[in-house]
Amino acid sequence: MVAFAGHALPIHYATGVIKEHLHTRSAASLFDVSHMGQIRIRPDGTNLVDLCLALEHLVPIDVLGLATGRQRYGVLTDRDGGILDDFMLAKVPGELFMVVNGAQREADAAYLRDHLSGGCQIDTMFADRALLALQGPASETALTRLFPGARDMRFLDIRDATIAGAACLVTRSGYTGEDGFEISVPIGVAEGIAESLADMDEVRPAGLGARDTLRMEAGLCLYGSDIDETTTPVEAGISWAIPRVRRSGGDRCGGFPGAERILDEIDRGPGRLRIGIAPEGRAPMRAGAGIFHDAETPSPIGIVTSGGFGPSLGAPVSMGYVATSHSQPGTRFHVETRGRRLPAQVTALPFVQPRYRRA
């Protein structure tokens, strides 16, 4: 157990990280991710269209075009184009629902209150709601026993659900690269719902160690490691989240913090890029390790931001940043690990292809 964002979080249970990871890939695992921040944004004296347009002044995604009952990924950017946080945003009848990172939840709520103009109400649900993530190919089978409507949902759908007599919100999404669901539940019934799921044959509890190895294999960014205020969405390889309507020439081009730099990088290319790193040996290459052109060059050309062992691959996996000129798959370099420079090469992300239910 570790302390994080006011919560005691399990790194792993008795079976250990590797078995939890592999069970998620083959069946279903239950993660308690209640440390994440859940925020409701509701019109107050205005309408939802105006609220969506106001939020677009803070984020580079298409909020206005998000359909009711759907969710999408986005980032909060600063005036220099850096990333203040990444989040999932959903539109439910009459309001918006946002899930943000646990370490940033207080700062994000304050930022939204400070920068969204009048006409909306921002409600944090940090003390009132828990968040459970049921992930893996058997997650639909398991959740359907408690919420039959789960079987009709597709990737990035959000639905109201009554589970154990409580009003819940269910999204078909997650942070593992597998099919799965995130379930926002009232804090008073969270333990009972979690136990009901964990008692099912397909489901085992899993901790944040497996969540980290799963998201690395899926090529997903971790805020504070792979993305932060020093990285732009383009450098991070997540510019796919910025749609055409918000880009140069789009109907609602720019208007968000850092737009000039971010749109220029989309058009001209950034100076560095996030890459997948495949070590040529068995030694994991972890966050903070320098990347060098060869075994002798004194100056680094990049840095590792995430790294560890990939249980699905039976091999180490890492991600990091290098100069764009060194970012093509197959490019070889050396990474300084425990005082030695070991060979590695750029590999395409993700390491393991996602298995979301898109239809």
pLDDT at position 9, please? 93
266 CB-side CA count, 13 A: 22
174, with CB counted inside 10 A (0-12, 13-18, 19+), is buried
Q: What is the DSSP string of 160-216?
A: EEEETTEEEEEES--SSSBSEEEEEEEHHHHHHHHHHHHTSTTEEE--HHHHHHHHH
The per-residue pLDDT for 120 is 92
Please report the pLDDT score of residue 4 as a whole number. Answer: 87
Domain 271-359 has CATH 2.40.30.110: yes
Give the model's pLDDT for residue 309: 97
Question: Which among 328, 332, 333 has a CA at the least distance from the CA of 290?
Answer: 333
Distances (CA, A) of 223 to 85, 111, 200, 227, 306: 7, 17, 32, 5, 11
* Predicted pLDDT at 359: 82
Let me know: does 258 contact 276? Beta carbons within 8 Å: no
- What pLDDT tens digit does each residue of the chain (359 aa) get? 999 888 899 999 999 999 999 999 999 999 999 999 999 999 987 799 999 999 999 999 999 999 999 999 999 999 999 999 999 999 999 999 999 999 999 999 999 999 997 789 999 998 999 999 999 999 999 999 999 999 999 999 999 999 999 999 999 999 999 999 999 999 999 999 999 999 999 999 999 999 999 999 999 999 999 999 999 999 999 999 999 999 999 999 999 999 999 999 999 999 999 999 999 999 999 999 999 999 998 999 999 999 999 999 999 999 999 999 999 999 999 999 999 999 999 999 999 999 999 98
User: Do β-strands 28-32 and 203-205 pair in parallel, antiparallel, or remain unpaired?
Assistant: parallel
Measure the CA–CA gap between 47 and 26, rounded to whole angstroms.
Answer: 45
Domain spans of the chain?
2-215, 271-359
Q: Which of 130, 135, 147 is nearest to 33 (CA)?
A: 130
Instruction: Give the predicted TM-score (pTM) of the model.
Output: 0.96
- DSSP lists the bridge partners of residue 322 as 273, 302
CB neighbours of residue 101 within 10 Å:
18
H or E stretch at 260: helix 259-268
Strands 166-171 and 158-163: antiparallel
As a whole number of angstroms, the distance between CA 89 and CA 102 comes to 15
Query: Looking at residue 246, what DSSP letter applies?
Result: G
Q: Considering only CA atoms, which of 357, 317, 344, 321 is closest in space to residue 217?
A: 317
Domains 2-215 and 271-359 share a fold: no
Tell me yes or no: is domain 2-215 CATH 3.40.50.2300. no
